[in-house]
Structure 1
Amino acid sequence: MTKKVAIVEDNELNLRLFRDLLQAHGVEVEAVGDAREAVSRISAFIPDLVIMDIQLPHISGIDLIRQMKSDNGLRHIPIMAVTAYAGKGDEARVRDAGADAYVAKPISVARFISSVEGLLGTLGQNVTVVSGV
């Protein structure tokens, strides 16, 4: 069965990188570039994993993680937080909000894929793309 991943990322280059890496591993991807649409798009897509940027305009990734974890329909979905601002205490704050994994940018491709596989198990084999960007 094909795995589904939602990516919430406002930086187009990062969004494309994450999407391309996942698609190369046969993952169905929902790309969300506007944090204000994230929860509704994730609710409609129901992914197996959410990759969440933390530094987003309008709504922080931490607030989105808290919203998801307080929603009965979404709380079961694992969340991998990614951030360029990896300061002291940031990982603890992100994990306290409900993130299941934390990856600092710039990402290592091997670490990114390893973290995704750790949360999803084996990645999918068939490629289907759903992109709202």
Structure 2
Amino acid sequence: MTIKRILIIDDDADIREATQICLEITGEWDVLTASSGSEGLIKAAAEKPDAILLDIMMPGMDGLTTFQNLQDNPETQNIPIILLTAKAQSAEQRQFTRLKVAAVITKPYDPFSLSDQVAEALVEKL
């Protein structure tokens, strides 16, 4: 299995670190991180990861705005995006399913199954 690169965009340092460790240990991912939407846009364009894990609720540029910017950029528009969200209400879930995202993973997530959830979401994309 080849090493895959994933970019985590999340403003919470603890979540970034825990997610990175889970993906590196259980899924053999090469993990990049960004602490804001704007930093994530720059890293995504520069590094061209195989996938992006994107938090929805962030200060400044939120996840949906970041997602739209990624979609609008020809350099990043084909990178599969998985949304990480604490918003589990059915109205929000419907909104997310209308977006062209690979999957929506609800926080808090099980760190031991996260890598499998990501792999499953990307099975046709990678």
Shorter-chain TM-score range: 0.7 to 0.9
Letter in 1 for 2:72: S
Larger RCO of the pair (alpha carbons < 8 Å, separation 6+): 1
Q: Tell me what 2:120 maps to.
A: 118
Query: Distance between the aligned counterparts of 1:94 and 1:26, measured in 2?
Result: 27
Query: Distance between the aligned counterparts of 2:3 and 2:97, measured in 1?
Result: 27
Query: Distance between the aligned counterparts of 1:112 and 1:17, measured in 2?
Result: 11
The structure with the greater share of residues assigned to helix is 2
Q: Tell me what 1:46 maps to.
A: 48
Structure 2: gaps spanning 5 or more residues: none
What do the CA deviations read for 1:13-47 (whole angstroms, capped 9, x no partner)? 11111100111132111110122211111111100
Q: Tell me what 1:131 maps to.
A: none
1:110 Cα offset (Å):
4.5
Counting matched residue pairs gives: 121
Q: Tell me what 1:27 maps to.
A: 29
TM-score by length of 2: 0.87
Contact 2:19-2:111 within 8 A present in 1 as well: no
1:75 Cα offset (Å):
1.3
1:2 aligns with 2:3: yes
Q: 2:107 aligns with which of 102, 105, 108?
A: 105
CA RMSD of aligned residues (A): 1.5
